[in-house]
Amino acid sequence: MACLGIGQARYCEAMSDENVEIVRAATAAMLRGDAAAALNALDPEIEWHATVGGIDEGQIAHGRQEVAQAFADYFAVWERIELRADEYIDAGGDEVVVFFHEVAKGRASGAVVETDTGTVNTVRNGKIVRVRSYMQRSQALEAAGLSERE
């Protein structure tokens, strides 16, 4: 186990650069709009859990096609959306946590929403097999078996 200082919090984590790089590459592809590369990083039987506390909480997309449709539906709600991956944490074993910062403007309401979210990505055999999303940083860390420490 290695402990890394990140801001004021410290996280203890086992290092697995390969899984982090798989998730980082998939995220980068998604952020640059390369849907084919992003979907290719997912296992064909991916299980993607919508954000706990989000507008689509409780929904689960199964398989690449359902994930693609879920993202299309999500992006259709917004007139403008800016998404940035701020931090990647190897949670040990098969799991990688990613923290995102998102600013979006509602298509119908015009309301601007700014959030920080986290995902827990499970990687097996070089593919992302499960993604669980959370509105709160502490929930994502807890789901990955980690904790925030001052």
- Tens digits of per-residue pLDDT, 21-77? 999 999 999 999 899 999 999 999 999 999 998 878 999 999 999 999 998 988 899
Long-range contacts from 8-11, C-beta under 8 angstroms, 24+ separation: 8/150, 9/148, 9/149, 9/150, 10/149, 10/150, 11/89, 11/141, 11/146, 11/148, 11/149
Please indicate, yes or no, if residue 150 is contained in any of the structural domains: no
pLDDT of residue 56: 83
Strand 112-124 versus strand 127-134 pairing type: antiparallel
Please indicate, yes or no, if residue 148 is contained in any of the structural domains: no
Query: Residue 11: is its pLDDT beyond 60?
Result: no
Residue 47 sits in which domain range?
2-143
Query: Residue 10: is its pLDDT beyond 80?
Result: no
Alpha carbon 77 to its chain centroid, in Å, reads: 19
**Least confident window among 2-11, 78-87, 91-100, 124-133:** 2-11
Q: Counting every residue, how long is the chain?
A: 150
Q: State the total domains in the chain.
A: 1
CATH number of the domain bearing residue 48? 3.10.450.50
Please indicate, yes or no, if residue 149 is contained in any of the structural domains: no
pLDDT of residue 108: 94
Please indicate, yes or no, if residue 94 is contained in any of the structural domains: yes
Please indicate, yes or no, if residue 7 is contained in any of the structural domains: yes
Q: What's the token pair of residue 137?
A: 């940083």
Please indicate, yes or no, if residue 114 is contained in any of the structural domains: yes
Q: How far apart are CA 48 and CA 59, in angstroms?
A: 8
Per-residue pLDDT tens digits for 88-127: 999 989 999 999 999 999 999 999 999 999 999 999 999 9
